[in-house]
Every structure is written in C-alpha cells, then in structure tokens.
Chains A and B, each alone.
Chain A
Amino acid sequence: MPEFRTEEMVLNMGPQHPSTHGVMRFVVHTDGEVMRVAKPDVGYLHRSIEKIAEKLKYPQFMPFTDRIDYLAAMNCNMGYAMTVEKLAGIEVPPRAEYIRVIASELNRIASHLISVGVMGLELGAVTPFLHAIRERETINDLMEELCGARLTYNYIRIGGVAQDLPAGFAEKTIEFLDHFVPAVDEYNRLLSYNKIFVKRMADVAVISAENAVDYGLVGPNLRASGVKWDLRRDEPYSVYPQFEFDIPVGTGEKGQVGDCYDRYMLRIREMVESSRIIKQCLAAVPDGPVQTKLPASLKVPEGEAYVRTESVRGELGYYVISDGSDKPYRLRIRTGSFSAMSIVELTSRGLMIADLVALIGSLDVVAPEIDR
C-alpha cells in the first residue's frame, strides 16, 4: 500500500458569507474535512466610533451607541448613559430607571430571538427562524410606540429617557409576554429537542470555564461554560436588585458543559427570565418625571470611569476619560463580541468545517460590535 500524503488547504470563508452575521472573514486551514485552525479576520465594519466620540459633545454621542450593537441598541444606550451619569454625578429619576430596565430586557428578548432563530437557519432549519422573527416583530412594534424607531432607538438619554411610556404600553407588553412565554415551549418542541439539531450542537466546540475567563468571554457565552456570572446579579446596577430572576448556566444537558448546545439553550432560558423581569418591573413602575433637567451645555468634571453593564452579548464596558470639557477626552468601548471572536482561533482547532458555522452562530457575535 502506498502511503497517502495529505496537504493543507487554505480556504477563505467570507467576508460575504450567510453565516457571518454581518461582514467578517475566516482564513480556514483545512486537512480534508477537518480544520487545523480558523483565523478570524475582522474590521470590515470599523467606523472609528471611539474617535468620533472625541469630536462630539456628551449627549450628541448617544445615537452612535445605537450603532455599536444594532441588535441591542437599548442596552448600548444604557451603558453609555450610566457612565456619563457616574462621572457627572447625575441622578436618574426612579421612573426612568424602571423604564430603562423594561426597554433593555425587551431588547434582550428581541436579540436572543434573532440569535436562536439564526442558529437553526445556519444549520439548515429555515422554519424556526420565521417563528422567532414573528415574535420579534411584536417587540419592534412596541419599541416603535415607545420611541419611534424599530432598531436604532436613541431612547435612553443621559439623566433619564427621551419620553414617558405611551398610553396602553404596559397592557400591550403584558399581552405579548403572555403569548410569548408559552411560545418558547413551541421553539423547544420545534427546534431545541430536534434530534438532528441536537446532534449538530451537542459536544461541538466545547469551551472550558478556565479558557472562557482567560479569553475574557462574557455574558451568555461565559455562563454556558458553567460560570454563574451575571452583572445584573453580581455587580447590581439600576433597579435589578429588586427583581426575582434566575441566572441560567450551562449544564451540559445533551453533551458537555460549554458546548454549542449549552450556549444555544442558555439564550432560550434567558428569554423566559427577561420576561419575568419585565412583568415585575411593569407592576412596580412608580410615578414621576422621566428625565433630570440637565444644563444646556453638559460639562463633565475631570476624571475617569469604567462602567460595565450586562448587555445582550455580555459585559459592555465604557471607559470614559473626561478633561472637564463638554466632550470626552477619550472613550473606549469594550464589547462582548470582540472577546468572543478572539476565542474562535483556539476553539476551531480540530473541528469539522461544517461545525465552524455552529460555533460562530452559538457565540452570537455581531460584526459591528466587534469592529466598532
């Protein structure tokens, strides 16, 4: 028998690829069907948001935060507002805090719906995506009533929110949640426990808890590796301490802890938890103003602060350095997708080529959040 020699082949996946969630590229080194390594190449959506921030006054920068992660614009608004409020010592009215939490958690459900739906889509299951998008449409309608926009909200402002809840908002939201929570079981029957889906996801691309912390994974990706860590609970902010909710963690229910299936399932569970938070929050919203009066030209005292919040893709950190003027001296944004993407090179080693799509989908990266 002659000995067969195998040769490494370098393949290019992206920048335009249906599963790359935006524009990103992977240089895949393959040996037959198995990947030796997949090296991510990012930056195609870099818009130098950090540099733009240095040229704008503090309130003017808010619409740009929408564009950091367009699937979770509300959460991005909130993190930035909280950072400036901390440095400038601005108090937020209680009613505004509750509205912020409602809006952010609704946004979390909308974003997780995309993640869950797209996960199926990427592995060839088209129908669940349509079910997920249907529910998300209702959230988009609610958001439109709330602030006039369906994607880039610019709703949470420094010192409060742009306007009060519209009439009938609470009733409509509760009506939606009553319909949505049972629908999650539908997704589970349709997709989560589908035999083929489980086979494609379980035991694939396992990330250990140690590596997850070392590479700076945050949010659902970190929790899926078995680390019970949620900023809403462990570094509480806003009015989150008042609500009762569970922090789901990866249990390896179909395979190992930290596999693609755990990351997927975690988002399903988080949607239910977010629904619980919204319901409690709607019941407790106090009356009062929704915006603190700010000076016409907001000057932030000299100093620096790093404030992080639990965005949809995990820790979203804003590091703002102020020199006492009305513009940030330096603004740095740390995002969950950035660190999630950096672990792909390690995790992709030895995977099948087809599983790369499962890995990226389960990490739920959003390209503009990586590139900023």
Chain B
Amino acid sequence: MEPAAIHEELKSRFGDAVMEFREGNGDPFIVVNGSHLLEIAAYLKEAQGLHFDSLMCLSSVDYGENYAVVYHLYSMQHKRRVVLKVYVEKADPRITSVQSVWKAANWHEREAYDLMGIRFEGHPDLSRILLPEDWPGHPLRKDYVFPEEYDGIPCHRE
C-alpha cells in the first residue's frame, strides 16, 4: 500500500483527525491531529496489511510558528514506510507519548523533550537524556540563546 492509499484508509477510519497528505521533493508525509495520535499509531502497528512494527526515527522540528513531531515508521513484513507529522502549539507544546506502542519511542521522546522542550504525556520517565538535568532551555529551538556560563563555567571561548 502506497503512502497515499494509507492516508485514504486512515482518513476513512479516523475522519478529521487525519489531515492532509503532502507530497513534494523527497518523502511524502501525512499530517495528523495530535488528539488521536495514540489510536492512529496503534492502528498503524496492529492493522492487517499495515503492520508498521518499527519506529525508525522520531524527530522534533521547530517551524517558527509551531513545533512538529515527525514519526518515520517502517513495516518489516511489507517493506514499506510511512511518515506521520503532528504539529504542536508553541504556547503549550504537549503531545501524547507513543512509547506504549513502540518501545523505541521512549528514548527518542526523552531526547525531543530535552532538546526541543516538547512534553510527551503518558511517558513513564520524561527527563533530560543528553543534557545535564539543570541545563537552562532547549537548544534545538530556533530562538534558543546560548548561555554565557553554566554553573560558573564559561561557555564561550575567549
């Protein structure tokens, strides 16, 4: 099943929670509303003929007006991919965790929280993974200002 057909199927099942299908240079992707993410994720993994059992990559993006979380899924059985994109409001960046569907999401979500500041609800241990626990801010945000010092250690080279 091609990504466009998967979009059709998701659309007929989840209605307005599944938004547009975007194609362009590179990989096409399906935009999904965050409110039904967990159901859609579970469906993609379990449904007959889909079996997206592998979460290749989970990324966070700062698009200026909002954030996005991107899920690159793969079905080992059918050898095909699909890309989901969920836009998250900047004022209150929250999204459902999918680590109950794919265990691989656990660490990826922690990284997205650490570096982009997106909160994954339902995550068992949402703590910083790469940066120190008391690091200020989330560096991958486009408006991030690099600190002058950290705990008295200068962060700039002379």
Alpha-carbon gap, A86 to B57, bound state (A): 18
Alpha-carbon gap, A51 to B131, bound state (A): 13
Q: Contact check, A305 vs B27: say whether CB atoms are below 8 A apart.
A: yes
Distance (whole angstroms) from the CB of B134 to the closest CB of chain A = 13
Q: Contact check, A321 vs B61: say whether CB atoms are below 8 A apart.
A: yes
| Interfacial residues of chain A within 298-334, with CB under 8 A of chain B in the complex | 301-306, 308, 315, 317, 319, 321-322, 330, 332, 334
Q: Contact check, A213 vs B57: say whether CB atoms are below 8 A apart.
A: no
User: Which of B62, B83, B102, B107 is most buried by chain A, counting CB atoms within 10 A of its CB?
Assistant: B107
Known: A42-B129, A87-B25, A342-B106. Contact between A216 and B56, CB under 8 A? yes
Alpha-carbon gap, A48 to B131, bound state (A): 10
Distance (whole angstroms) from the CB of B128 to the closest CB of chain A = 8
What number of B residues sit within 8 Å (CB to CB) of A? Answer: 32
Which of B25, B57, B129 contacts A306 (CB under 8 A)? B57
Chain A residues positioned under 8 Å from B107 (CB to CB): 338-339, 341-342
Alpha-carbon gap, A206 to B3, bound state (A): 36
Q: Contact check, A213 vs B54: say whether CB atoms are below 8 A apart.
A: yes
Q: Please give me the residue from chain B that is nearest to A335 by CB atom.
A: B57
Question: Does A137 sit within 8 A of B, measured CB to CB?
Answer: no
Which of A43, A46, A216, A303 contacts B102 (CB under 8 A)? A216
Q: Contact check, A319 vs B59: say whether CB atoms are below 8 A apart.
A: yes
Question: Does A50 sit within 8 A of B, measured CB to CB?
Answer: yes
Which of B26, B81, B103, B130 contacts A214 (CB under 8 A)? B103
Q: Contact check, B139 vs A216: say whether CB atoms are below 8 A apart.
A: no
Alpha-carbon gap, A303 to B27, bound state (A): 8
Chain B residues positioned under 8 Å from A43 (CB to CB): 128-132
B-facing mask of A227-244, CB < 8 A → 1, else 0? 101000011000000000
Chain A residues positioned under 8 Å from B24 (CB to CB): 302-303
Chain B residues positioned under 8 Å from A229 (CB to CB): 76
Number of A-B contacts (CB under 8 A): 84
Q: Contact check, B104 vs A317: say whether CB atoms are below 8 A apart.
A: no
B-facing mask of A201-225, CB < 8 A → 1, else 0? 0000000000101111000000000
Alpha-carbon gap, A356 to B52, bound state (A): 32
Q: Please give me the residue from chain B that is nearest to A83 by CB atom.
A: B26
Q: Contact check, B56 vs A308: say whether CB atoms are below 8 A apart.
A: yes
Alpha-carbon gap, A285 to B15, bound state (A): 53
Distance (whole angstroms) from the CB of A86 to the closest CB of chain B = 7
Q: Contact check, B131 vs A304: say whether CB atoms are below 8 A apart.
A: no
Q: Contact check, A339 vs B26: say whether CB atoms are below 8 A apart.
A: no
A and B contact pairs by CB, cutoff 8 A, 18 listed: A43-B130, A50-B115, A50-B140, A213-B54, A213-B76, A215-B104, A216-B56, A304-B27, A304-B29, A305-B26, A317-B56, A319-B59, A330-B59, A330-B62, A332-B59, A334-B56, A339-B104, A371-B130
Question: Can you add 15 more A-B contacts, CB < 8 Å, to A43-B128, A302-B24, A317-B57?
Answer: A42-B129, A87-B25, A211-B103, A216-B56, A216-B102, A216-B103, A216-B104, A303-B24, A306-B72, A315-B56, A317-B56, A330-B59, A330-B61, A339-B107, A342-B104
Q: A residues near B, CB below 8 A? A: 42-43, 46, 48, 50-51, 86-87, 211, 213-216, 227, 229, 234-235, 301-306, 308, 315, 317, 319, 321-322, 330, 332, 334, 338-339, 341-342, 371-372
User: Which 8 A-B residue pairs are closest in the complex by CB-CB distance?
Assistant: A303-B25, A216-B104, A305-B26, A43-B130, A303-B26, A334-B57, A332-B59, A342-B107
